[in-house]
Chain A
Amino acid sequence: MWAAFEPAAAADWWPEGWYDRRAEGGPGFYPDIEKMELPFYWDTAEPLKVLSIGFIRFYQTYLSRFRKGDCPFHPSCSRYGLRAIHDYGWVWGWLMIVDRIFYREGGNIYSDYPKVRIHGEMRPYNPPRYDYIWADPLWPLVVPSSEEEW
């Protein structure tokens, strides 16, 4: 049960050639990690994680077209959820998703987060790694530098 609270190892995500931030001498910044395609998660040891990811993928494929998609953040809430559950487990992932969907409309999101230009418009940049409170916030807050990277 406690495995659900442990984050997944991030090393197997990274493309060949990128350095590990915690390794000696590595640059440790990942400007395009969010645009990496998530591998299909098929680990029957964590069925709730599989179910959660499956539910979000079902929403993205079949239900999102009925919603006008007005999430101001980048990445979008469903993509954020996929990443959060995959990286940090279904417990912390769902907490982060509920926080992101319900508790982010107050304040000024354009000053509370760094901004990135996506398809010509500036959007607050909020990947799950900014919000995982148990880990190093990965200072500096690496923000993709240009729209071409997306």
Chain B
Amino acid sequence: MVDFPPGRPALVDDCMIAGDRHIRTRGSIALWLAMAFSAFLPAVPHRPLEADEQPPEAHLAQASEPRSDEEMAEMFFAEGDFFRAITEFRRAIFGCRDQAKIEHLWFRIGDSYLHAGRYNDALKVFDRLAREGTSEGTRPVAKYRLALTHIEAGLAEQSAKHLALCRADPDCVRLAGPDRVDLADAVALFEGRNWEETSRKLRGFGTRYPGSPLTEVAESLEKKADEAKEAPRLSPALAGILSAVIPGLGQFITGRYWDGVQALLFAGGLGAGSGVLFWYEDRSNDPEWVVPSLMAAVAAVFHAANIYGAINAARMTNLMSDFNVISEARTMYRPALRLR
């Protein structure tokens, strides 16, 4: 039995430690009564249900329905819970003896990794299916998926190689669609920031594939590539030179005004201060060079960092402008490419 200090025990923790004493405290009696009473209360919702809304217990009824592992996995996939879907697909593979079915389930695992952004795992799955798959319905599409995974991972150069392999397989082109493979080629160029090549590839898409549902996507992508080609670019070299001449000027032209002011204050101020100190010490009878030298060294570091920062700011501005263009376009072409 635990000896606790004199005084009234607290409501919960000390009641549990006190052993046989917990029943005799007023707070714990009230707690037990409340718990006992609440067991008999119905599950009352906090607000009226909407027209198409199910009562809170409905999910319990749904979960109790018998489902196969594959159906459960497809349900998780549809909800966006890709890692649970992968677990259920693996469970379905464990109990399956049909080779074609197993390859299909592995294909769905690869799809789940792709949608979840785990590109390395998706590449392994699709690569193995493309090389060792025996099912006619899965292997050609795995080749297309392999190229698509390279595109989504941003590996434009490698995706071009896999798209060429896909194009060489007539089953792959038939199942994925020649318009989709062409669009994937253009997307690979777009992701690699080859705006000119992207426009050239997509020119005449509508006439090459009349009636294709991807024509609208292709035209939008061509327009985005033209806009990206015309977008203004900052010169990192110019920003660096300007910052070398006047600290902070390079940051000004990249739009980072407060950074430019700080560079002027730190680098320019310290440099000017050290210059004044050097001038003052030069005129004194007993010059001391330590403090001015240290100040000049710190000012030099700040000035070098200011030049480096100006170059980097211009470079990052250009990169981010490309990154934003590509990020916006991804919401448009990724669903179109993933359909097959």
| Contact of A140 with B by CB under 8 A | yes
Closest-CB distance, A140 to chain B (whole angstroms)? 3
Q: Which of B117, B256, B258, B323 contacts A140 (CB 8 A)?
A: B323
Closest-CB distance, A143 to chain B (whole angstroms)? 9
Instruction: Name A96's closest neighbour in chain B (CB-CB).
Output: B308
| Contact of B112 with A by CB under 8 A | no
Q: List, in ascending order, chain A residues with CB within 8 A of B311's CB.
A: 133
| Contact of B129 with A by CB under 8 A | no
Q: B309 touching A103 by the CB < 8 A rule?
A: yes
A-B CB proximity, top 3 nearest: A106-B258, A140-B154, A145-B117
Task: Pick the interface stretch among B33-41, B169-177, B298-306.
Answer: B298-306
Q: B323 touching A141 by the CB < 8 A rule?
A: yes
Q: Mark A23-35, 1 if CB is under 8 A from B, else 0.
A: 0011111010000
In the complex, which residues 303-319 of chain B have their Cβ closer than 8 Å to any Cβ of chain A?
304-306, 308-309, 311-313, 315-317, 319
| Contact of B199 with A by CB under 8 A | no
Interface centre among A28, A113, A141 (most CB of B within 10 A): A141
Knowing A95-B304, A137-B315, A145-B117, the reply to whether A103 touches B262 (Cβ < 8 A) is: yes
Report the tally of A-B residue pairs with Cβ distances under 8 A. Answer: 103
Q: List, in ascending order, chain B residues with CB within 8 A of A25's CB.
A: 158, 161
Closest-CB distance, B107 to chain A (whole angstroms)? 19
Give the docked Cα–Cα distance between A104 and B306 (Å): 11
Q: B326 touching A140 by the CB < 8 A rule?
A: yes
Give the docked Cα–Cα distance between A102 and B248 (Å): 12
Q: A105 touching B259 by the CB < 8 A rule?
A: yes
B residues contacting the other copy or chain, number (CB 8 A)? 44
Q: A95 touching B256 by the CB < 8 A rule?
A: no
Interchain Cβ contacts under 8 Å between A and B, 16 examples: A27-B150, A27-B155, A28-B155, A95-B304, A95-B305, A102-B263, A102-B302, A104-B259, A104-B309, A105-B262, A106-B257, A107-B256, A112-B317, A139-B154, A139-B192, A146-B117
Q: List, in ascending order, chain A residues with CB within 8 A of B255's CB.
A: 106-107
Closest-CB distance, A110 to chain B (whole angstroms)? 11
Q: A133 touching B312 by the CB < 8 A rule?
A: yes
| Contact of A38 with B by CB under 8 A | no
| Contact of B193 with A by CB under 8 A | yes
Q: A113 touching B320 by the CB < 8 A rule?
A: yes
Q: List, in ascending order, chain A residues with CB within 8 A of B192's CB.
A: 139
| Contact of B130 with A by CB under 8 A | no
Chain B positions within 8 Å of A, measured between CB atoms, are 116-117, 119-120, 123, 150, 153-155, 158, 161, 191-193, 236, 251, 254-263, 266, 301-302, 304-306, 308-309, 311-313, 315-317, 319-320, 323, 326
Taking A106-B256, A133-B236, A146-B116 as known contacts, 13 extra A-B pairs with beta carbons closer than 8 A to each other, sorted by chain A number, are A18-B120, A25-B158, A27-B155, A28-B155, A95-B304, A96-B308, A104-B259, A106-B258, A111-B320, A112-B316, A130-B316, A139-B319, A141-B323
Q: B155 touching A29 by the CB < 8 A rule?
A: yes
Instruction: Name A25's closest neighbour in chain B (CB-CB).
Output: B158
| Contact of A8 with B by CB under 8 A | no
Q: B259 touching A103 by the CB < 8 A rule?
A: yes
Q: List, in ascending order, chain B residues with CB within 8 A of A31's CB.
A: 117
Closest-CB distance, B117 to chain A (whole angstroms)? 4
Give the docked Cα–Cα distance between A141 and B321 (Å): 12
Q: List, in ascending order, chain B residues with CB within 8 A of A113's CB.
A: 316, 320
Instruction: Name A126's closest neighbour in chain B (CB-CB).
Output: B316
Q: B153 touching A27 by the CB < 8 A rule?
A: yes
| Contact of A99 with B by CB under 8 A | yes
Closest-CB distance, A77 to chain B (whole angstroms)? 13
Give the docked Cα–Cα distance between A29 and B89 (Å): 26
Q: List, in ascending order, chain B residues with CB within 8 A of A6's CB.
A: none
Q: List, in ascending order, chain B residues with CB within 8 A of A140's CB.
A: 154, 191, 323, 326
